[in-house]
Amino acid sequence: MSVRVTPGNPAGAIVARVSRRTGGQVCCDGSAGDQRSAGKKQLILLVLIAFSVASAADPWVAPRSAARRQNPIQNTPKSVAAGKAVFMPNCVPCHGEAGRGDGPASTALNPKPANLTDPKVWEQTDGAIFWKISNGRNAMPKWEGALSEEQRWHTINFLRTTFGKPHP
């Protein structure tokens, strides 16, 4: 669903796209007419906006089978260095050098990139983090295909060593 204000309309018409497939719309343009109809349209619009906001807030959870996956690469200084070599050019633009989700590209992203220092990140298993890096979501790119499995596992070792705590 998208919401837009139509420029040039004195009442600032609001249009909510209800369905990408059908192109259905609900319009609340403030024009004169049946007050009951306008009230219904406004109520429908508010419900659609609330649903859209609630959908965007869905937690990002890896499937259990992916979360159970173990990191096959031992967390060593060599692995951490290899992970850093992947992180710096690929992740810093969004997550920032300190991993706080404040990289230069983050200002244009919604939702904002994860704060990699947040304990919520470190409560996840390596397998869950690997799955998220591999599959992406919203502005987070899908790194599977762009980075080898080995590079993604090294990156997790770098992340845990640099920004968080090792997962038990």
pTM above 0.75, yes or no: no
Residues 28-40, mean pLDDT to the nearest whole number: 53
Q: Are residues 21 and 84 in the same domain?
A: no
Q: Are residues 90 and 130 in the same domain?
A: yes
Beta strands in 56-148 (DSSP E): none
Cis status, amide bond into 59, omega within 30 of 0: no
- The residue that leads in pLDDT, 152 or 22, is 152
Domain boundary among 13, 33, 56: 56
Q: Report whether 66 contacts 132 (CB < 8 A).
A: no
pLDDT reading at 114 higher than 60: yes
pLDDT reading at 119 higher than 70: yes
Q: Are residues 77 and 159 in the same domain?
A: yes
Q: Are residues 99 and 147 in the same domain?
A: yes
| pLDDT of amino acid 47 | 46
pLDDT reading at 7 higher than 50: no
Which pLDDT band holds residue 56 (cuts at 50, 70, 90)?
low
The alpha carbon of 138 is separated from its chain's Cα centroid by a whole number of angstroms, namely 5
Domain boundary among 31, 56, 81: 56
List, in sequence order, every residue forming a beta bridge with 147; answer none if it has no partner: 144
Q: Are residues 72 and 140 in the same domain?
A: yes
Which domain range does residue 13 map to? Answer: 2-56
Q: Are residues 49 and 33 in the same domain?
A: yes
- The residue that leads in pLDDT, 68 or 29, is 68
| CATH code, 96 | 1.10.760.10
Within a domain: 110: yes
Q: Are residues 28 and 88 in the same domain?
A: no
Residues 4-18, mean pLDDT to the nearest whole number: 40
Within a domain: 96: yes
Within a domain: 168: no
Residues 139-159, mean pLDDT to the nearest whole number: 97
Q: Are residues 43 and 21 in the same domain?
A: yes
Q: What is the mean pLDDT of the chain?
A: 78
Q: Are residues 6 and 39 in the same domain?
A: yes
pLDDT tens track for 154-166? 999 999 999 986 5
Residues 108-123, mean pLDDT to the nearest whole number: 93
Instruction: Give the integer Cα–Cα distance in Å for 105 and 91.
Output: 10
Number of domains in the chain: 2
Structure tokens at 160: 């845990």
Q: Are residues 102 and 146 in the same domain?
A: yes
Structure tokens at 143: 């790194």
pLDDT reading at 66 higher than 90: yes
What number of CA atoms fall less than 13 Å from residue 58's CA on the CB side?
9
| pLDDT of amino acid 39 | 62
Q: Are residues 110 and 157 in the same domain?
A: yes
| pLDDT of amino acid 167 | 54
Q: Are residues 83 and 140 in the same domain?
A: yes
